[in-house]
A = this chain, B = another copy of it.
Amino acid sequence: MGKTLAKSPLAPERFPDLPVIAGAEFASVAAGVRYAGRTDVMLARLAPGTAIAGVFTRSATRSAPVLDCQAKIGGASDAGAAIVVNSGNSNAFTGRNGVEATRAVTSAVAKMLDLPEGRVFSSSTGVIGEPLPHARITAKLDELKAGLTEAGISDAARAIMTTDTYPKGATASVDLPGGTVQIAGIAKGSGMIAPDMATMLVYIFTDAKVAQPDLQAMVSAVSDRTFNCITVDSDTSTSDTLLMAATGASGVSVGADDRAFVEALETVMLDLAQQVVRDGEGATKFVTIRVTGAASDADARTHAMSIANSPLVKTAIAGEDPNWGRIVMAIGKSGAAADRDALSIRFGDIVVAENGWVSPTYKEADGAAIMKQAEIDINVDIGLGQGKATVWTCDLTHGYISINADYRS
């Protein structure tokens, strides 16, 4: 945490221009929760009538702020709302102290912004098991309130970073019969990334008018195809949180089966999810794993995740070694149905293996050329049925070891 990490070679060229989302204002400050010389708390204020939906880690040891958000989500209210997030300390596994620290922050924000406490959502990300110095956050609330601005979302993306090497943002706009609506999202995350849901914090804002149950249905469904399809290291955080706020300020109504809106939302969520993988700790390769022909979609996902999480597959990719035998190994161990002699494996468009053995047309030099690329497609057909899944991951490098062998020191 103390070190400055070099920007990931897989990072997007630049942070996108995020549009103003009417009804949403943002501010960020340097509260010194843990880091010095940078912002580490962000506040979002949302207009009355905003619907809030969320998706959270299923960890059995989830943090106090996650439990607090889960208890508050879904409540009907026409009041405004707020989201307050700190980096540097996750307030996870902090016992009763953690519950009190969460309440100290959310109740202070509620009082300051004149909101019901049930409409103030908080997240914390960083070290586990150390008491959250909540007074450092509440001491900065006046400064945060004074700084609220519709243009503040990009700075907010920076305030929530931990080991991230770049801030993450994505946006889309949707032309609907009633008018145009905007979607803008920010995320943080680079390690402890695995489904249920990918370890990270994600905040998405739209000026569309969406009923809370519809918003929840959309966010849950799209998460399954985006954030729950990425993995860096198979480790799942105790703090995973995705919150989406629909302010309704555009006056344009959207329902759960509004296809254009769902597609735009999926674009934003997939972009953010892939940006998290691209910032995977130590990552030098961005890997797309497509499994087809499995007995079911669930089996396809099990195979894809087994490949994506295999340390031997990930180190082979790091070494630019087209070691397809390790892919066979990962399929074999996954527990999902497979038949050795029905498998086929392609690196990009190159057929590597089929019918239980290396393809007669395969040349190691062709596989090696694919492996030298920064973006690698691994395509596996199980040969048993119609099930399919796509997951995204990165390689496992010396950089991952260097970052994680002394995170706290």
Binding site for B on A (CB under 8 A): 57, 59-62, 90, 92-98, 127-130, 191-192, 194, 196, 233-238, 309-312, 315-316, 318-319, 321, 323-326, 328-334, 336-341, 343, 353, 355-358, 396-398, 400-402, 404-409
Q: Given that A312-B192, A338-B61, A401-B315 are contacting pairs, would A407 and B332 also be in contact in the complex, using a CB cutoff of 8 Å?
A: no
Tell whether, in the assembled complex, residue B311 and residue A233 are in contact, meaning their CB atoms are under 8 Å apart. yes
Q: For the complex formed, measure the closest distance between the CB of A208 and the CB atoms of chain B, giving whole angstroms.
A: 34
A300 to B318, CA, bound (A): 34
Beyond the given A94-B356, A128-B329, A236-B333, please list 7 additional residue pairs across the A-B interface where CB-CB is below 8 A: A60-B334, A60-B338, A191-B312, A237-B329, A311-B396, A319-B405, A323-B407
Task: Please give me the residue from chain B that is nearest to A130 by CB atom.
Answer: B358
A62 to B328, CA, bound (A): 9
Instruction: Find chain B residues with CB under 8 A from A329 CB.
Output: 59, 61, 128, 192, 235-238
Most buried by B among A93, A235, A236, A404: A93
A408 to B341, CA, bound (A): 24
Task: Please give me the residue from chain B that is nearest to A97 by CB atom.
Answer: B357
Q: For the complex formed, measure the closest distance between the CB of A114 and the CB atoms of chain B, giving whole angstroms.
A: 33
A234 to B324, CA, bound (A): 18
Tell whether, in the assembled complex, residue A323 and residue B95 are in contact, meaning their CB atoms are under 8 Å apart. no
Tell whether, in the assembled complex, residue A397 and residue B401 are in contact, meaning their CB atoms are under 8 Å apart. yes
12 A-B contacts (beta carbon < 8 Å): A59-B333, A60-B337, A61-B329, A62-B340, A93-B358, A194-B333, A234-B310, A236-B329, A315-B405, A319-B409, A323-B408, A398-B402
